[in-house]
């Protein structure tokens, strides 16, 4: 059962939309190596607005993910790809299905 999550809102710089989409697609392979990440979604909400939503059984899984390879790559590439710093929101999961 998942109890905590993350939502990260990403706003691509003009002309960088495809690179952000490719980054999110490529991130899946890295996240698949994280046993404590229950679910992970790279999403596009508009022409230049993207996001990451992921869930974890507990706080230790979330902390491990935040110090993992995807987070490292995200923040390393942020100045090049994003119009502003990624907005990371910590979530408590109140109800879920499928995770």
Per-residue pLDDT tens digits for 56-83? 999 999 999 999 999 999 999 999 999 9
Structure tokens at 57: 């059984």
- Statement: residue 46 has pLDDT above 90: yes
Q: What is the mean pLDDT of residues 34-47?
A: 97
What is the CATH architecture of 14-92? 2-Layer Sandwich (3.30)
- How crowded is residue 20: how many other Cβ atoms within 10 Å of its Cβ? 21
Alpha helices in 3-91 (DSSP H): 17-31, 59-66, 69-81
| pTM greater than the 0.85 cutoff | yes
Structure tokens at 38: 């229950």
Structure tokens at 42: 């790279």
- How crowded is residue 92: how many other Cβ atoms within 10 Å of its Cβ? 7
pLDDT of residue 98: 78
pLDDT of residue 32: 94
Spatial distance between the Cα atoms of 53 and 77, rounded to a whole number of angstroms? 19
pLDDT of residue 99: 56
Spatial distance between the Cα atoms of 96 and 99, rounded to a whole number of angstroms? 7
- Statement: residue 52 has pLDDT above 60: yes
- Statement: residue 84 has pLDDT above 80: yes
Q: Where are the domains of the chain?
A: 14-92
């Amino acid at each position: 059962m998942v109890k905590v999550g993350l939502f990260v809102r990403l706003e691509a710089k003009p002309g960088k939309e495809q690179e952000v989409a490719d980054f999110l697609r490529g991130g899946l392979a890295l996240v698949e190596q994280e046993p404590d990440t229950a679910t992970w979604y790279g999403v596009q909400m508009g022409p230049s607005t993207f996001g990451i939503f992921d869930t974890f059984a507990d706080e230790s899984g979330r902390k491990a993910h935040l110090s993992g390879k995807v987070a490292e790559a995200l923040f390393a590439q942020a100045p090049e790809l994003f119009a502003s710093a990624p907005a990371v929101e910590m979530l408590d999961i109140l109800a879920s299905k499928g995770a």
